[in-house]
Amino acid sequence: MKNWGDLKLFGRDFVLIIKKVMNDSVEYTDNMIALINGCASQLYSVCNDLQTDMDNVVCKWGKKYSDTVNSVFLNNAITDYTNQIQSFSNDILNDMSLVVCNCEQLYGKETNCTIQSSEIEKWVEWHYQFLNDKKNGLHFNVFDLFRNDCKIGIEERIHSKLINFLLDSTASHGQGKLFLNEFLKLLDIEKPDEGIWNITVEKGYIDILLYRSDPESIIIIENKSNNARDQQNQLYRYWHDAIYLKMRHKEKHKAYFSNNKNKYQLIYLAPNVGKIYEEQTKIKPIDWDENLPQDVPMEIEVLYFDNFIQKWLDNCINCLPAERIRIKEYIVQYQMLCKTL
């Protein structure tokens, strides 16, 4: 650590660095937790040493100048400086404690590891790189601008529209069915590039609905990006209204849907692993036709923003020519947003 200024900058931006690490290098989580704890311990020691040194200065100067008119002035000046150091120390320790606490809650691990001082230097170098990247605009994200600065929430309906922008072959991205086909391939839909797909978003009560008549295929996407609770019998109603009633030949047997997963899908799109649908949401309402099945007669596919959507967006980027800079940047920034869900 070169000087106190380095220490102060390092502490104040440490949380942002950790967020960057967690987004980009989750596989190094164990090492990251160990480093956090080691940094916290050593920063705490440094801050305590600084505080002790300043207390000694105040004490010695107070004795030396106790018989002069400058005594009160000197004591006040040094005490003010000591308070500033204490404030900086508290800021650093609070930031470090917050990071450690969040990591423990997120990963359920004790952060009682230690590190060498040379490893702190690596974090400082990383911090300088972080600041340099920020200076070069690499941390800018238009969605963060809307969400954090403009206070425009990126709610579920907005996520649905952002996804639909890529799925829509007539949208201003100008890539036709390219992104739609990549999406359908990941879902293993038969002959994804054939027929005319009709896509609706936030129409009625279904977040995203994809339908084509020839060959017949229906895909329902229930978007839970903001962890909203499931409504009563919600998925059952979706299956009944958007799949069962739309089918040319009304089918209600599990065996049929099991054998035709490449045509009909009901997707529960959650932010990350851990969120799953409630059992009640796939049960038939009590006052409905008794000839209908008791629960949704098809597998409900649980997919995640931090897995399926990320993979789809990666595929979209990889299939774009290098010169399509604007649309690539949109996808990259949307990927960054999805990592924060």
255: its two tokens: 């065996």
The whole model's pTM is what?
A: 0.65
CA distances from 27 to 21, 72, 83, 84, 340 (A): 10, 56, 40, 38, 17
pLDDT score, position 142: 85
For the chain, the distance separating the N- and C-terminal CA atoms, rounded to the nearest angstrom, is: 34
pLDDT of residue 149: 81
Measured distance CA(271)–CA(216) in Å, rounded: 29
**pLDDT value, residue 112:** 47
Residues 172, 330: Cα–Cα separation, whole Å: 12
How buried is 322 (Cβ within 10 angstroms: 0-12 exposed, 13-18 middle, 19+ buried)?
A: exposed
Which single residue is written with the structure tokens 């954090």? Answer: 148
* 283 DSSP 8-state letter: B
Strand order in the sheet with 206-213: 198-203, 206-213, 216-223, 264-270, 300-304
Please identify which residue in the block is written with the tokens 């390092």.
Answer: 10
Residue 262 and residue 31: Cα distance in Å, rounded?
A: 42
Helices 117-135 & 14-24 angle (0-180, nearest 10): 90
State residue 52's pLDDT score: 67
Confidence (pLDDT) at 113: 43
pLDDT in tens, the chain (341 residues): 444 444 544 554 555 555 555 554 444 455 555 555 566 566 666 666 666 666 666 566 555 555 444 556 656 666 666 666 666 656 665 655 555 555 545 444 444 444 444 555 565 566 667 677 777 777 788 888 888 788 888 889 999 999 999 999 999 999 999 999 999 999 999 999 999 999 999 988 899 999 999 999 999 999 999 888 999 999 999 999 999 999 988 888 999 999 999 999 999 999 988 888 999 999 999 999 999 999 999 999 999 999 999 999 999 999 999 999 999 999 999 998 998 88
With the CA atoms of 134, 139, 141 and 146 taken in that order, what torsion angle do they form, in degrees rounded to the nearest 10? -60
**Contact by Cβ (8 Å): 293, 244:** no
Give pLDDT, residue 132. 77
Q: What is the pLDDT of residue 236?
A: 96
Helix (H) or strand (E) holding 267, with range, is: strand 264-270
